[in-house]
């Protein structure tokens, strides 16, 4: 029996055969949290829509208690299932040294995000690592969450109707806003987490970022084979 894939339906992310580009958002959990890998991105160009949609196909909580290279290896296992072809946006807010490990594992496919009180995520600092660098963008936590909320209420997010998406959505609904002089601050209730919800917001941030195509080109250049070396002909020296 020949497998017949589902006909592409822009409203049903399970029918999207690929993302353009594929993005993995990686929230880095602390000691009591889980790190995550949320996979998705913009839809195929075969069906452009206005306003453009963002799809989320899979939400994964990595095992607890992973740090450093072990955590990067768990993320790499997810990346391998997607043919090592994703842009990876990683939360580097609490562990700057993790940038080095991620770059050794994934190379220039890594884009860093520093989530703090302020910032719109439009400018980046260049953070040197061995054999290269990582660009790290600074964004306010409230700005990131509210941007994602606006995309949801404007019906621009497509996600699977499963327990993991419902868990992510519940995490976002449970956040408690506190109004301060600089604006709202969103915090988790005691004993709860926001790792999946934040990862979804990170993915949507990159999918709509004006620098997205720049990063696609950076990755494409990194995969080109070096030009062939043609030694000079002896005749040329005569």
pLDDT tens figures, 159-173? 999 999 999 999 998
Per-residue model confidence (pLDDT) at position 233: 54
Q: Given pLDDT bands bounded at 50, 70 and 90, which one contains residue 223?
A: confident
Per-residue model confidence (pLDDT) at position 196: 93
Lookup: tokens for 41: 């991105």
Contact at 8 Å (CB) between 16 and 44?
yes
> Average pLDDT, stretch 106-131?
93
Q: Given pLDDT bands bounded at 50, 70 and 90, which one contains residue 32?
A: low
> Average pLDDT, stretch 46-73?
87
Alpha-carbon torsion, ordered 141, 21, 100, 201, to 10 deg: 10
Lookup: tokens for 200: 């979804």
CA angle (117 as vertex; 108, 165 as ends), nearest 5: 65
Q: Residue by residue, what is the 3-state secondary structure of 128-143?
A: EECCEEEEEEEEEHHH
| DSSP-based three-state secondary structure for 208 | coil
Q: Given pLDDT bands bounded at 50, 70 and 90, which one contains residue 238?
A: very low
Per-residue model confidence (pLDDT) at position 4: 58
In this structure, the number of other CB atoms found within 10 A of the CB of residue 52 comes to: 11
Per-residue model confidence (pLDDT) at position 168: 95
> Average pLDDT, stretch 189-218?
91
Lookup: tokens for 94: 């609490």
pLDDT of 132 > 50? The answer is: yes
Q: How far is CA 60 from the centre of its chain?
A: 13
Domain annotation for the chain: domains and CATH numbers = 13-237 (3.30.420.240)
Contact at 8 Å (CB) between 38 and 60?
yes
**Model-level pTM?**
0.88
Q: E-assigned strands of the chain?
A: 23-26, 36-41, 54-61, 87-91, 110-116, 120-129, 132-140, 157-158, 176-180, 183-187
């Amino acid at each position: 029996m020949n497998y017949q894939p589902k006909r592409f339906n822009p409203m049903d992310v399970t029918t999207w055969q690929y993302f353009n580009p594929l993005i993995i958002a990686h929230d880095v959990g602390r000691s009591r949290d889980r790190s995550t890998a949320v996979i998705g991105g913009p839809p195929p160009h075969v069906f452009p829509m206005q306003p453009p949609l963002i799809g989320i196909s899979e939400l994964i909580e990595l095992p607890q208690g992973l740090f450093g290279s072990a955590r990067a290896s768990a993320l790499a296992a997810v990346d391998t299932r997607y043919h090592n072809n994703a842009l990876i946006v990683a939360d580097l807010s609490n562990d700057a040294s993790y940038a080095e490990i991620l770059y050794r594992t994934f190379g220039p496919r890594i884009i860093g995000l520093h989530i703090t009180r302020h910032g719109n995520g439009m400018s980046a600092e260049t953070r040197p690592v061995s054999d290269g660098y990582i660009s790290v963008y600074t964004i306010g936590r409230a700005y990131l969450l509210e941007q994602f909320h606006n995309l949801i209420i404007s019906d621009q997010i497509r996600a699977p109707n499963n327990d993991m998406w419902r868990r992510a959505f519940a995490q976002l609904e449970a956040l408690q806003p506190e109004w301060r002089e600089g604006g709202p601050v969103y915090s988790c209730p005691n004993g709860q987490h926001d790792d999946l919800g934040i990862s979804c917001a990170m993915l949507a941030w990159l999918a709509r970022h004006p620098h997205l195509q720049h990063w696609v080109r950076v990755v494409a250049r990194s995969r080109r084979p070096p030009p062939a070396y043609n030694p000079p002909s002896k005749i040329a020296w005569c």
